[in-house]
């Protein structure tokens, strides 16, 4: 019954426009990454019923990120077969899942039949398609000089069009607004009177009207989403755009419904992101990997910045085999502009068996008539003692030194949100130290070596796409400066020195550590051994370092994380304590 109502409603919206002198088109959002089965295909079927004049996209139609071109071609063939069932023309836009390098670019242009940036006219309107896939990664908000010059020339030639629409993938204007910086593209758009800008990349819908330009970030038309919270713009959708003269009407079509364009504004997204970071504060619960039945008192502070009282209770979701929380439910009564602290006793039964971590959700009225859902997990700060060695291991990639055999490894890792144990294969991580050096070893089990990704051998190459381990070291434990190393299964290292000061992240890729690294192979695992002088990682504490890590296994499309959340955020790192 719902399906019939939806089709009737949207057909009325479309067919009523068919009788005027205007036109209408559809815009689809990201199908990937992590494409959800059949969502995009079902949206294409809905679009067929609407009979638009043409369909636009904002990129990310294939999963991509492949070195095997036969896989890339197969992905393109599959999605093009779906798109070709449409009864109208489809215009392509490049996303980061389509283009990561020049080989990807050549395949993209071959399969789509268009250049990575181009323009066309339809009726009284001008359409511009840009590419900010490769250039974005090197320098946000900047495009290559050739494309930028082309854009300005194209806008100059077509500035008399009744409507100018621009499409590109990565919404750099959002980053510029967050960081209070200038976006080169926005300056160009304002100079030449662009009317509407459509972007994607973030799988969340948002709308902004700024200086007479409408910015619409089209969210997911099938790509994975971190939540199912509509208040965050997290819902499967596409857009219907009707144009008549200089009048433009944008409708957000959620599956089986039609929504007004400002159903989620960019200001809503800003407020909710702020709430995610500030509304609920949970004290750290420090847990050693070897701990048994340790109880700590944990304070949860809730701040109400919304217009209504908070009445939804804190109700912990707890696996009783792993945790006991008392009380498990706490009623709330927090007036607007008020903050309250609540105490809970948390018992961790086994530090080596932590996942899933306890969590709770809270319905939060953040503005008049709108409620979002805040998802919170126990702030578990993992801790590992690092033993002092009397004699150093030989760095040869073989984990046969007695020092490793005497150490209990880090061996449990979670998925990205700590809701379950990671699906990566068994992983063992070892640390040791002496007066001068830090020693590290890894044994990463692998049941199918034919699927091992091991492309990079040079220093500072793109090891982050290979089978690898990521290491973060906050060596002076200041939660501001830290080192990062990504070491692949060949022993190749990508490293940099990072700082996070006043919320601004700086990554110095020119920094290079003197890492002594060796890799090896066992019957069912690949191995690493590493040695680095502590003086390489100055300034450093003799007692405690902040630390985090993950293991990436591309064959399984998954990673295992030590401390959650895993990010360039040293305040969330776990702890290595030297003894």
Cα–Cα distance measured from residue 461 to residue 468, given in angstroms and rounded to the nearest whole number: 12
- For residue 6, the model assigns a pLDDT of 37
Cα–Cα distance measured from residue 152 to residue 193, given in angstroms and rounded to the nearest whole number: 11
279-378 and 383-578 have identical folds: yes
Cα–Cα distance measured from residue 532 to residue 92, given in angstroms and rounded to the nearest whole number: 48
CATH of region 2-274: 3.60.21.10
The CATH fold of domain 383-578: Immunoglobulin-like (2.60.40)
The secondary structure of 297-342 as a DSSP string is: EEEEEEE--SSS-B-PPEE-B--TTTEEEESSEE---B-TT-EEEE
Contact 277, 295 (CB under 8 A): no
Give the list of residues 6+ apart from residue 567 with CB closer than 8 angstroms, or none.
Answer: none
Tell me the CATH class for 279-378.
Answer: mainly beta
**Taking 80 as the threshold, does the pLDDT of residue 520 lie above it?**
yes
**Taking 60 as the threshold, does the pLDDT of residue 457 lie above it?**
yes
- For residue 369, the model assigns a pLDDT of 86
Pairing of strands 196-199, 213-217: parallel
**Taking 90 as the threshold, does the pLDDT of residue 510 lie above it?**
yes
Contact 349, 292 (CB under 8 A): yes
pLDDT more than 70, % of the chain: 95
- For residue 258, the model assigns a pLDDT of 63
* Other residues' Cβ atoms within 10 Å of the Cβ of residue 305: 16
Average pLDDT over residues 445-463: 96
**Taking 70 as the threshold, does the pLDDT of residue 1 lie above it?**
no
Q: Give the pLDDT band (50/70/90) at residue 19.
A: very low
Q: What is the pLDDT of residues 525-552, one digit of tens each?
A: 999 999 999 999 999 999 999 999 999 9
Give the list of residues 6+ apart from residue 320 with CB closer than 8 angstroms, or none.
Answer: none
**Taking 50 as the threshold, does the pLDDT of residue 507 lie above it?**
yes
Q: What is the pLDDT of residues 370-418, one digit of tens each?
A: 999 999 999 999 999 999 999 999 999 999 999 999 999 999 999 988 9
Cα end-to-end span (Å), the chain: 67
- For residue 113, the model assigns a pLDDT of 97
Q: Which residue's entry shows tokens 């890339």?
A: 72
- For residue 143, the model assigns a pLDDT of 66
Tell the burial category of 469 from Cβ atoms under 10 Å away from its Cβ (0-12, 13-18, 19+): buried
Cα–Cα distance measured from residue 123 to residue 119, given in angstroms and rounded to the nearest whole number: 14
Q: Give the pLDDT band (50/70/90) at residue 20.
A: low
- For residue 11, the model assigns a pLDDT of 46
**Taking 70 as the threshold, does the pLDDT of residue 16 lie above it?**
no
Tell the burial category of 306 from Cβ atoms under 10 Å away from its Cβ (0-12, 13-18, 19+): buried
- For residue 142, the model assigns a pLDDT of 57
Q: What is the pLDDT of residues 61-85, one digit of tens each?
A: 999 989 899 999 999 999 999 999 9
- For residue 162, the model assigns a pLDDT of 97
Contact 492, 463 (CB under 8 A): yes
- For residue 156, the model assigns a pLDDT of 98
**Bridge partners of residue 525, in order along the sequence:** 445, 522
pLDDT more than 90, % of the chain: 85
Q: Where are the domains of the chain?
A: 2-274, 279-378, 383-578
Pairing of strands 54-57, 23-28: parallel
**Taking 90 as the threshold, does the pLDDT of residue 502 lie above it?**
no
Q: Which has the closest alpha carbon to 131: 105, 159, 163, 165?
A: 105
**Which 3 state secondary structure label does DSSP give 476?**
coil
Average pLDDT over residues 127-146: 74
Average pLDDT over residues 348-354: 95
Cα–Cα distance measured from residue 500 to residue 504, given in angstroms and rounded to the nearest whole number: 5
Q: What is the pLDDT of residues 250-270, one digit of tens each?
A: 999 997 676 778 889 999 999
Q: Any idea which of 106-120, 330-344, 419-433, 500-514 has the lowest mean pLDDT?
A: 500-514
Kindly report the pTM of this predicted structure. Answer: 0.71
Contact 329, 362 (CB under 8 A): no
Contact 56, 85 (CB under 8 A): no
**Taking 70 as the threshold, does the pLDDT of residue 2 lie above it?**
no
**Taking 50 as the threshold, does the pLDDT of residue 429 lie above it?**
yes
Handedness of CA 420, 422, 427, 431 (dihedral sign): negative
Tokens of 130: 């840009």
């Amino acid at each position: 019954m719902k399906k019939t109502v939806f089709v009737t409603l949207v057909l009325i919206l479309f067919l009523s426009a068919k009788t005027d002198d205007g036109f209408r088109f559809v815009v689809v959002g990201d199908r990937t990454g992590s494409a959800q089965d059949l969502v995009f295909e079902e949206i294409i079927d809905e679009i067929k019923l609407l009979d638009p004049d043409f369909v636009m996209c904002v990129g990310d139609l294939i999963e991509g990120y492949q070195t095997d071109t036969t896989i890339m071609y197969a992905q393109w063939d599959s999605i093009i077969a779906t798109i070709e069932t449409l009864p109208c023309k489809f215009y392509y836009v490049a996303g980061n899942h389509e283009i990561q390098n020049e080989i990807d670019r050549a395949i993209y242009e071959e399969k789509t039949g268009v250049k990575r940036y181009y323009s066309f006219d339809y009726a009284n309107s001008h359409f511009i398609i840009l590419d900010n896939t490769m250039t974005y990664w090197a320098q946000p908000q900047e495009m290559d000089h050739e494309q930028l010059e082309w854009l300005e020339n194209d806008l100059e030639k077509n500035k008399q069009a009744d409507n100018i629409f621009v499409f590109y993938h990565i919404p750099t204007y959002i980053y510029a607004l967050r960081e209070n910086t200038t976006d080169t593209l926005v300056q160009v758009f304002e100079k030449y009177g662009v009317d509407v800008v459509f972007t994607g990349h973030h799988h969340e819908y948002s709308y902004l009207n700024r200086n007479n330009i409408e910015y619409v970030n089209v969210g997911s038309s099938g790509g994975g989403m971190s939540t199912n919270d509509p208040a965050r713009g997290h819902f499967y959708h596409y857009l219907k755009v009707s144009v008549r003269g200089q009048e433009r009407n944008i409708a957000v079509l959620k599956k089986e419904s039609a929504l007004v364009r400002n159903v989620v504004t960019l200001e809503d997204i800003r407020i909710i992101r702020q709430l995610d970071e500030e509304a609920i504060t949970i004290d750290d619960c420090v847990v050693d990997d070897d701990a048994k039945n340790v109880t700590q008192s944990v304070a949860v502070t809730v701040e109400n910045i919304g217009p209504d009282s908070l009445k939804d209770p804190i109700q912990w979701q707890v696996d009783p085999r792993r945790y006991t929380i008392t009380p498990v439910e706490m009623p709330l009564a927090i007036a607007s502009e008020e903050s309250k602290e609540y105490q809970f006793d948390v018992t961790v039964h086994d530090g080596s068996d932590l996942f899933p971590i306890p969590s709770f959700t809270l319905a939060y009225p953040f503005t008049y008539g709108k409620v979002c859902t805040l998802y919170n997990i126990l702030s578990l700060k993992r801790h590992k003692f690092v033993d002092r060695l009397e004699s150093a291991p030989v760095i040869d990639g073989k984990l046969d030194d007695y020092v490793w055999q005497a150490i209990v490894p880090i061996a449990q890792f979670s998925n990205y949100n700590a809701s379950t144990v990671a699906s990566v294969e068994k992983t063992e991580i070892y640390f040791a130290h002496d007066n001068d050096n830090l020693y590290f070893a890894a044994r990463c089990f692998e049941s199918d070596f034919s699927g091992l990704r091991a492309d990079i051998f040079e220093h500072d190459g793109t090891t982050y796409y290979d089978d690898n381990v990521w290491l973060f070291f906050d060596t002076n434990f200041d939660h501001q400066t830290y080192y990062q190393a990504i070491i692949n299964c060949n022993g190749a290292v990508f490293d940099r020195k990072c700082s996070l000061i006043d919320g601004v992240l700086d990554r110095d890729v020119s920094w290079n550590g003197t890492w002594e690294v060796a890799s090896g192979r066992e019957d069912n695992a690949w191995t690493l051994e590493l040695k680095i002088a502590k003086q390489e990682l100055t300034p450093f504490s003799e007692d405690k370092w902040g630390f985090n890590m993950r293991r990436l296994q591309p064959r399984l499309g998954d990673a295992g994380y030590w401390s959650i959340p895993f990010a360039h955020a040293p305040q969330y790192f776990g702890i290595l304590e030297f003894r």
